[in-house]
């Protein structure tokens, strides 16, 4: 090859690389420049409603569509794994709940690492839980319920939303702390389990306020105690379980947004700022509280620390309550 050719080719290559670099920088500063996917690893009609509210606001604030995509399966493991393995360019995000922290404790092996594979962006809301029972159940406070359960071990049943869900783990922790034997019946999701308690098939459960509030208000369910230590605005007179004989009990779920590990920090920061301002908007506040949730926000670091603490708490729960771990190949 003569030197002219070499010069020519190397110029072309240099210009090419320079353009690529410009494009990369431009993409970062022009984020978002194409639609963004928010993966919700649950079926539609459950926790994804909050994701859609947030997604809609993000779309209008950032000028690109933020589309919610449902990828349900394996207790949210499938959708979460999908995001973990997605490119970390800020165009695939994960909207998760406390199931993110529960899964590493309940499954023997996960296809992803909950801490190492994600960059937390921020908390979106808390989902307080409430201990409810069928109206005909002969106990009106937690103390009465515990006494009744101790007197007749194994007679009563409780509903939960699936293995490893907060309704399962928190109730098992309650049983261990109160020293009672109540059989757990699994249902797929909050909907069927709440219906089961309402119809009297099972006598009680610890469920999300959002899914139970309308039945509590109309008398089809009885509230025994608040399972979360955050006083609820919709159930102001209800004592917490912590105050009713199970000190230190605090079961509260949360919703938050994450990105795959390695997402450019500028994008994470941008998204976090947007979320913080979105959750302060009055119409968003109204919509989120309408779902029975408690809107909140945090910094990415705070969210990351929260997840780590939750994982620790759940693994202690699984150990203390003697819950068998699930194999997931």
Region for 128 from its dihedrals, namely left if φ exceeds 0, alpha if ψ lies in -120 to 50, beta otherwise: beta
Omega cis (within 30) before 32: yes
Tokens representing residue 191 in the block: 């909907």
- Positions 77 through 136 that interact with another protein (CB under 8 A): 77-78, 81, 111
Count of residues that bind another protein according to CB under 8 A: 54
Asked whether position 42 contacts another protein by CB under 8 A, the answer is no
Please state, as a whole number, how many other Cβ atoms lie within 10 Å of the Cβ of residue 76.
24
Pick from 167, 168, 170, 159: nearest CA to 202: 159
Q: Say how far apart CA 244 and CA 252 lie, in whole Å.
A: 17
x/- mask, another protein, residues 213-252, rule CB under 8 A, reads xxx-xx-x--------------------------------
Asked whether position 210 contacts another protein by CB under 8 A, the answer is yes
Instruction: For residue 159, give the DSSP letter.
Output: E
Residue 26 beta carbon to another protein: minimum distance, rounded to whole angstroms? 28
DSSP state string for 214-230: HHHHTTSSEEEEESSSS
CB 197 within 8 A of CB 205: yes
Q: Which is nearer to another protein, 63 or 248 (CB)?
A: 63
Asked whether position 32 contacts another protein by CB under 8 A, the answer is no
Q: Which is nearer to another protein, 27 or 186 (CB)?
A: 186
Residue 123 beta carbon to another protein: minimum distance, rounded to whole angstroms? 19
- Interface with another protein (CB under 8 A): 43-46, 48-49, 52-53, 55-56, 68-75, 77-78, 81, 111, 154, 157, 162-164, 183, 185-186, 188, 191-192, 195, 198-199, 201-202, 210, 213-215, 217-218, 220, 286-287, 290-292, 326-329
């Amino acid at each position: 090859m003569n030197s002219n050719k070499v010069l020519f080719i190397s110029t072309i290559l240099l210009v090419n690389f320079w353009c690529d670099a410009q494009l990369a920088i431009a993409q970062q500063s022009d984020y978002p420049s194409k639609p963004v996917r928010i993966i919700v690893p649950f079926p539609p009609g459950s926790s994804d409603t909050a994701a859609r509210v947030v997604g809609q606001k993000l779309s209008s604030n950032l000028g690109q569509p933020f589309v919610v995509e449902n990828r349900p399966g394996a207790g949210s493991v499938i959708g979460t794994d999908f995001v973990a393995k997605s490119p970390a360019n800020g165009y695939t995000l994960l909207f998760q709940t406390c199931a993110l922290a529960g899964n590493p404790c309940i499954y023997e092996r996960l296809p992803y690492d909950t801490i190492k594979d994600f960059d937390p962006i921020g908390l979106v809301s808390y989902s307080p839980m409430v201990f409810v029972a069928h109206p005909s159940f002969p106990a009106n406070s937690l103390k009465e319920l515990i006494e009744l359960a101790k007197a007749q071990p194994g007679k009563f049943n409780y509903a939960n939303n699936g293995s490893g869900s907060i309704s399962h783990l928190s109730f098992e922790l309650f049983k261990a702390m109160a020293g009672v034997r109540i059989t757990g019946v699994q249902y797929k999701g909050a909907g069927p389990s709440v219906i089961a308690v309402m119809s009297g098939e099972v006598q009680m459960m610890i469920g999300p306020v959002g899914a139970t509030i309308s039945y509590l208000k109309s008398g089809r369910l009885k509230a025994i105690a608040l399972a979360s230590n955050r006083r609820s605005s919709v159930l102001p007179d209800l004592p917490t379980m912590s105050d009713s004989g199970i000190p230190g009990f605090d079961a509260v779920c949360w919703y938050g947004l994450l990105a795959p590990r390695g997402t450019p920090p500028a994008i994470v920061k941008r998204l976090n700022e947007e979320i913080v301002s979105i959750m302060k908007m009055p119409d968003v506040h109204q919509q989120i509280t309408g779902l029975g949730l408690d809107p909140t926000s945090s910094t990415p670091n705070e969210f990351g620390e929260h997840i780590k603490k939750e994982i620790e708490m759940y693994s202690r729960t699984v150990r203390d309550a003697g819950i068998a771990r699930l194999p997931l190949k």
